Structure 1
């Protein structure tokens, strides 16, 4: 990490947290952390704006843990929920809870004991999310927990059943607020915020700031300070990420993808698609060509998604085909490539997607394949983000320019080995099996694949 960045110790973070972070190889702050910590540690409300992968989790997590652990302004921990982080998806919930738990390994809370005895217990963090049975989560709440990370729907479910009391929450974080707006959670978020303690610290983090989110900050925050890790819309995407954009015919798309995946030096790669069925089909196509690939999408149960994501995290597969919502759980720092199989819906989705690479100071590559009839959508994204690629070139999988861009030989084939099965959960390919599929020829070739995937 850049040695010019301040250490967490120099920023006044509790030694117990600093030691835990240093054990995990983290000792210096990213820009968003450097700017938020001095404010958040003293209890100020703040709005943090930074793209995905810039360290937002520790930007709010460190001061939250620090204040819960040792701040006279916070009621002493007694197993009542004092801290709450609201996130849009199950996957992000698990990731945030894991990151906070890692930073909190040395933190303790007092336990009632006979006079004179100093007895403590570990600070407790509980993840609350849907798609799984209630019992384990309700048991954790019944035993007492200090900090909850949760998704809006499950938080409200437990609150309505009187199993979760939010009235004592003194530190509240909304993470990826714009994503919660997109998923229709805004009313749920308002209902949750209304249940928390009236005199609380509120932190909101978001990659973009649409009007309804700005209105939310005015209604529920007290003189918030706005902190940005980027200086302009032109920097909404990673400076360390090389962005490649070209027009690709849909009939040639699988061949183009298969060859990009043979780029020298390619590591973990995420391929973004629009639909659940497309995720299943693209994963099957790549597995048929010999690639180690998995898939995550909305038709998979939580346990099935985790099985596929674990395969990606542990290296069993190096390619993950994902829809946008499912990909929220893919929080891996060493993703070298992100490939947009088609143009994303809008500029915000583009920023979130390519934020999966070029993280933590690493370099990355983001490739966007533009359908010939989808050029207008791309030009709107390009204009909004000032990317400078309004008229991307037209390349086929055998075009000399395409091969040169990705440092590929002229005799390259689509196939890299014998056909294998998609890794992880069998549910990953379920949507593709529901409808008859067109005949396909998975053998390597240099022309269009002859298959439509849209």
Structure 2
């Protein structure tokens, strides 16, 4: 695997990458970044969740000067959810360079976006329909764009945005770099590439993400601030022989390993800031049993081959399914069973379900043990350790004289309980504070629409996916026509079954004046638009639907 330092990136970009917790490039990043830095056009073929945003974002940000006051980079995405997600990552990557980026998408007040454009962002991330709105209003000019990215191009074309994309690309200078990313390469994508890319290099990464069946996979839904106490309960209730706990960043690993040691657990941390000698010392302790818990980042744990790991705990969810599979693969080796636990905050449940979908494995939800259950579990382990010592050949004679003296003064039950407390190393009163980590954003897009009409009946006759338009309500989900476009006809999906009337393709005639896609995920039943700023006569308010 390549490190980001190998790409010759400037310090500001490397610092941002490090702050985000990325230490080594994913396969698509390792292949795509050098091509993009060289200024070549590229087709990147990889599944969602493989690190595509950084694959095009890092080279793009490396080329832009903070003093630039024009739009020099344009990223097109199929949905508002993806546009927001990409925008957030681009903002993080460019933070130390002082770059400005802006997400443009339907469903948000356009006047608010116009005000934000006055800040002169260098990078625009947008959905095709709303981008055309701004271009037509002359609030966005593409005369100085040097780099164009088409993210998830196959989804954009599936959603009917081919004409919009073509219209936008024709307004961008020909002397530009174009990067096209797509999970699949159907004929329409190839046609688009032939039309707008110049001698592109094709970078492809195959997905091989199937998790091992010998690993029991569980997750716990938990608040960020409760994670540490939850982890302690889990370790007490289900003591591992050897466990690897994964944190997302070096800071997290350092803080968590120190916190566990303060609570009395035999633990150490492994992350990228350790020297080779320090790393070797930690691994020696883990292999010889001096410690039974190793806290590590993904990169630091890569390449480790330790037999006997019984538990993997994702204290922080990984960024992508590939990392999840690599993590849990540390247990369940050589035909033995293993157990993995993942801590998931409420905002990360969509990301967990995305991991399930890609790995094709259901992760079972469980409840954390209560405090009393955890204490009982730990006491059972201590009792077993004491009995093993009594039954073994270990020399206990040096302790017998002291034991007999104590028995003359105190009750035997109280003495044994006190000894167990000391063995327990219980330090629950130690105050622990961990720096909170941001939740992982799901790669999965949701059904989101705009303001009026749309998915559901906006007229009186349709029930789902259509119906004739009511007041102000366009009714299909993909490309329905309003006044001025008569190519779809009335009708649509009635009750989710077959098209009726003359409509096709999730259609329905719009009762508003919009050209297309004015619908949202909404059941207006002939009612008024949800909001007044409907942008009548303009483009999509519903450009954020995924293919159904």
Please, what TM-score do these two structures have when normalized by structure 1? Answer: 0.51
Superposed, 1:418-429 pairs within 5 Å as none
Deviation sequence 1:199-237 (CA, Å, 0-9, x none): 00000000001101101111111100000012xxxx4x5
Report if the CA contact (8 A) 1:47-1:225 is conserved: yes
Q: Partners in 2 of 1:318 and 1:98 — Cα distance?
A: 16
* Cα RMSD for the two superposed structures: 3.6
1:177–1:241 Cα change, 3 Å: farther
Aligned counterpart for 1:238 among listed residues 199, 202, 209: 209
Report if the CA contact (8 A) 1:21-1:103 is conserved: yes
Which residue in 2 is equivalent to 1:118? none
Report if the CA contact (8 A) 1:337-1:365 is conserved: no
Report if the CA contact (8 A) 2:77-2:125 is conserved: yes
Q: Partners in 1 of 2:137 and 2:200 — Cα distance?
A: 32
> Which has the higher relative contact order, 1 or 2, with Cα contacts under 8 A spaced 6 or more apart?
1
Q: Partners in 2 of 1:241 and 1:177 — Cα distance?
A: 32
Aligned counterpart for 1:199 among listed residues 155, 171, 175: 175
Which residue in 2 is equivalent to 1:19? 15
Q: Partners in 1 of 2:179 and 2:218 — Cα distance?
A: 39
Report if the CA contact (8 A) 1:77-1:146 is conserved: no
1:134–1:222 Cα change, 3 Å: same
Which residue in 2 is equivalent to 1:315? 345
Which residue in 1 is equivalent to 2:316? none
Task: Measure how far apart 1:78 and its partner are.
Answer: 3.0
Which residue in 2 is equivalent to 1:55? 51
Which residue in 1 is equivalent to 2:155? 179
1:241–1:42 Cα change, 3 Å: farther
Deviation sequence 1:81-125 (CA, Å, 0-9, x none): 000000000000000000111111111xxxxxxxxxxxxxx2110
Q: Partners in 1 of 2:118 and 2:193 — Cα distance?
A: 32
Aligned counterpart for 2:6 among listed residues 2, 6, 10: 10
1:337–1:82 Cα change, 3 Å: closer
Deviation sequence 1:266-311 (CA, Å, 0-9, x none): 357xxxxxxxxxxxxxxxxxxxxxxxxxxxxxxxxxxxxxxxxxxx
1:182–1:337 Cα change, 3 Å: closer
Aligned counterpart for 2:92 among listed residues 92, 95, 102: 102
Which 5+ residue runs of structure 1 have no aligned equivalent? 70-75, 108-121, 243-262, 269-312, 321-331, 340-353, 356-363, 368-404, 409-426, 437-452
Superposed, 1:5-404 pairs within 5 Å as 5-69=1-65, 77-107=67-97, 122-230=98-206, 235=207, 238-240=209-211, 265-266=218-219, 315-316=345-346, 319-320=349-350, 332=351, 335=352, 354-355=357-358, 364-366=359-361
Report if the CA contact (8 A) 2:219-2:364 is conserved: no
Deviation sequence 1:47-85 (CA, Å, 0-9, x none): 00001111100011100111123xxxxxx8532100000
Q: Partners in 2 of 1:101 and 1:318 — Cα distance?
A: 21
Give the match's secondary structure for 1:265: strand
Q: Partners in 1 of 2:212 and 2:94 — Cα distance?
A: 31
Deviation sequence 1:150-205 (CA, Å, 0-9, x none): 00000000000111001211000000000001100011011111111110000000
Larger Rg: 2
1:212–1:23 Cα change, 3 Å: same
Give the match's secondary structure for 1:266: strand
Q: Partners in 2 of 1:241 and 1:162 — Cα distance?
A: 54
Q: Partners in 2 of 1:314 and 1:407 — Cα distance?
A: 10
Which 5+ residue runs of structure 2 have no aligned equivalent? 222-342, 367-447, 450-454, 464-495, 498-548
Q: Partners in 2 of 1:17 and 1:314 — Cα distance?
A: 29
Task: Measure how far apart 1:34 and its partner are.
Answer: 0.3
* Paired positions, count: 255
Deviating above 3 A after TM superposition, structure 1's stretches of 4 or more consecutive aligned residues are: 239-242, 316-320, 336-339, 364-367, 405-408
Give the match's secondary structure for 2:23: coil
Task: Measure how far apart 1:143 and its partner are.
Answer: 2.6
Report if the CA contact (8 A) 2:218-2:364 is conserved: no
Report if the CA contact (8 A) 1:36-1:59 is conserved: yes
Report if the CA contact (8 A) 1:82-1:147 is conserved: yes
